[in-house]
Amino acid sequence: MTGLKSFDEYVALAEAAHGHMCAGQILGLRLALYGVKLLGLDDPAGKDRKRLITFVEIDRCATDAITVVTGCRMGTRALKFRDFGKVAATFCDLAENRAVRVTARESSKARARELHPEIGDKNQQQMFAYREMPDEELFDSQWVRVRIEPHDLPGFKAPRVVCEDCGEGISFRREVARDGRTLCRGCAGERYYEPL
């Protein structure tokens, strides 16, 4: 028995989660379904949920759709974001210790134009085409090795430490040793914000 839903069910779930339906969502759904298919997982968000970790490479529409299919979320540490600006994701099966990276092909948009010249609206045109194009036409895939450190896995337990500069608590070994002190990454110079 498969835990995978019908494509239309995924579309409805993605639309609810993302706030609208768009070509990026269709592409993301297809990309994730292809990824879990290549791994041979038929219930990624159910019985297989503890074995799957997904790395996404863009923070756009497709990513929301990928989380709908895989069930991988930031809050469970099963979704990892690497900001490469690419519609691509790597699906890691912890049980089989293998991973496959799937990328959207640049040719997809042009192919959508070819398939549905009668649809003027680009988003609609792509939504239609991305539903029906075969996986191999939409995506490239490659088997890869992903080194996931124990402290990056879901369920990792380690004592929290406190930054000796700001006093804030730090989990998951994100602390930095600097001149004999234990600092958070912010105090060690990686701050993305400026205190006012």
Q: Which is nearer to Zn ion, 81 or 143 (CB)?
A: 81
Q: Binding Zn ion by CB under 5 A: which of 16, 158, 162, 166?
A: 166
Is 137 exposed, middle or buried (CB count within 10 Å of its CB: 0-12, 13-18, 19+)? middle
Decide: is 165 part of the binding site for Zn ion (CB under 5 A).
yes
Decide: is 68 part of the binding site for Zn ion (CB under 5 A).
no
Site for Zn ion in 88-147 (CB under 5 A): none
Decide: is 87 part of the binding site for Zn ion (CB under 5 A).
no
Helix (H, G, I), strand (E, B) or coil at 89: strand
Decide: is 187 part of the binding site for Zn ion (CB under 5 A).
yes
Eight-state DSSP code of residue 94: T
Q: Which is nearer to Zn ion, 43 or 165 (CB)?
A: 165
C-alpha to C-alpha distance for 173 and 152, rounded to whole angstroms: 9
Total interface residues for Zn ion by CB under 5 A: 8
Decide: is 163 part of the binding site for Zn ion (CB under 5 A).
yes
C-alpha to C-alpha distance for 33 and 13, rounded to whole angstroms: 14
C-alpha to C-alpha distance for 47 and 17, rounded to whole angstroms: 22
- List residues near Zn ion by CB under 5 A: 22, 24, 61, 163, 165-166, 184, 187
